[in-house]
Amino acid sequence: MVARVKKVQQQPARRTAEAPALKTVTLLGATGSIGSSTIDLLQREPDRYCVEAVTANRNAGALARLARELGARVAIANKECLVCAGALFMRRAGAAGATILPVDSEHNAVFQALMSGRREEVRRVILTASGGPFRTFSLDALRSVTLEQALKHPTWSMGPKITIDSATLMNKGLELIEAHHLFALAPDELDVVVHPQSVVHGLVEFRDGSVIAQLGSPDMRIPISHCLGWPTRMATPAPRLDLARVGSLTFEEPDPVRFPALALARRALAQGGAAPTVLNAANEIAVREFVGRRLGFSGIPALVEATLDAAARRGELAEPESVEEAVAVDHNARRLAANLLPEIAAMAS
């Protein structure tokens, strides 16, 4: 179910008069891009952080278990836990009194912006999307996009799965579902705006008309340090934002015709139940097939849509009541997507 598990867990240690509090950090997924940035930060403050355990694996269960067992702070950089079993995850974290800190630059930005008001004063949360490498491509041009083109993200350097998700905008769709769970927001309280410069990472609109935004250079050490240091802010060596040098920040509506993945994620979010789990599973199969050059770029959302439709027809969209049920939904959806693949690949080629 989970391709990448990248997570930092902290626990405040006994504070003495002589030394600042030592935080014990367990780093699951130390080899990925988030893990490397985290290690860079930890090494700069050896007196404040003690790395207890470092792993690189595919086990999502450990995350929920840690939250349950420790009543601690859990910094989450992993989308799939929340997308596939968000209600379960947040319920268990809540029961354990764990604070979930999002490492993702967009959700971390929203977390920071939310500090300027109260939950009931929030009118809307807006995630920014770079728009990916094909932002300006025509519908025709999108059909003949190559794997090499899709692997070049304009702003962030990341693994192939998330880079392709950024190109289809499915990444932003998954982030909407994440935000729904992390911040307890209704689908109509969530929005996306395309912002190619990736300087504004997220915004919160309050009911007075104030919009609070978090901006910064595209450097993951900023959101990671926010999770490590929270509720205080650490100094980081991230490049300082110079708005006059950036010159211009642009914003546009995402185009639902050229990028249907975002609308599919919105549909799954509105449907609720297991729909987001099915969406995610089908997308993982679709991206794997695209990377294997067995499915065209526009086949990715087509396969996701066909899988969602088929799962709905089969009555397989009930809310998973346990992690085991979520895993079963995931497996069934993958099989469904694999079965639908030949037809979709032929249609989209």
> Applying CB under 8 A, which residues contact a second copy?
112-113, 115-118, 121, 123, 126, 193-195, 200, 203, 205-217, 219, 221-222, 225-226, 229, 232-236, 238-241, 243-244, 246-253
Residues with Cβ within 8 Å of residue 70, at least 6 apart in sequence: 9, 11, 96, 98
Rounded to an integer, what distance in angstroms lies between the CA atom of residue 321 and that of residue 332? Answer: 16
Query: Which lies closer to a second copy via its Cβ, residue 112 or residue 130?
Result: 112
Query: Which lies closer to a second copy via its Cβ, residue 112 or residue 163?
Result: 112
In single-letter form, the type of residue at position 281 comes to A
- Distance of CA 210 to CAs 42, 115, 121, 206, 250, Å? 35, 13, 10, 5, 19
Query: Which lies closer to a second copy via its Cβ, residue 113 or residue 287?
Result: 113
Contact between 55 and 27 under an 8 Å Cβ cutoff? The reply is yes
Query: Which lies closer to a second copy via its Cβ, residue 194 or residue 281?
Result: 194
Distance of CA 135 to the CA centre of its chain: 20
Query: Which lies closer to a second copy via its Cβ, residue 59 or residue 210?
Result: 210
Query: Which lies closer to a second copy via its Cβ, residue 15 or residue 207?
Result: 207
Burial class (CB in 10 A: 0-12, 13-18, 19+), 16: exposed
CA-closest candidate to residue 234, choices 20, 11, 9, 27: 20
Q: What is the largest CA-CA distance in the chain?
A: 69
Q: How far is the CB of 104 from a second copy (least distance, A)?
A: 14
- Distance of CA 84 to CAs 24, 136, 264, 303, Å? 28, 31, 15, 18
Q: How far is the CB of 217 from a second copy (least distance, A)?
A: 6
Q: How far is the CB of 263 from a second copy (least distance, A)?
A: 16
CA-closest candidate to residue 12, choices 2, 22, 3: 22
Q: How far is the CB of 99 from a second copy (least distance, A)?
A: 16
Query: Which lies closer to a second copy via its Cβ, residue 233 or residue 294?
Result: 233
Q: How far is the CB of 114 from a second copy (least distance, A)?
A: 9
Q: How far is the CB of 328 from a second copy (least distance, A)?
A: 40
Q: How far is the CB of 116 from a second copy (least distance, A)?
A: 4
CA atoms within 13 A on the CB side of 152: 7
In single-letter form, the type of residue at position 307 comes to T
Q: How far is the CB of 236 from a second copy (least distance, A)?
A: 5
Contact between 18 and 204 under an 8 Å Cβ cutoff? The reply is no
Helical spans, DSSP H, in 257-298: 260-271, 275-291
The CA angle 320-322-325, to the nearest 5 degrees, is: 55
Q: How far is the CB of 109 from a second copy (least distance, A)?
A: 8
Query: Which lies closer to a second copy via its Cβ, residue 100 or residue 222?
Result: 222
320: DSSP letter:
P
- Distance of CA 216 to CAs 13, 71, 201, Å? 30, 31, 8
Query: Which lies closer to a second copy via its Cβ, residue 21 or residue 246?
Result: 246
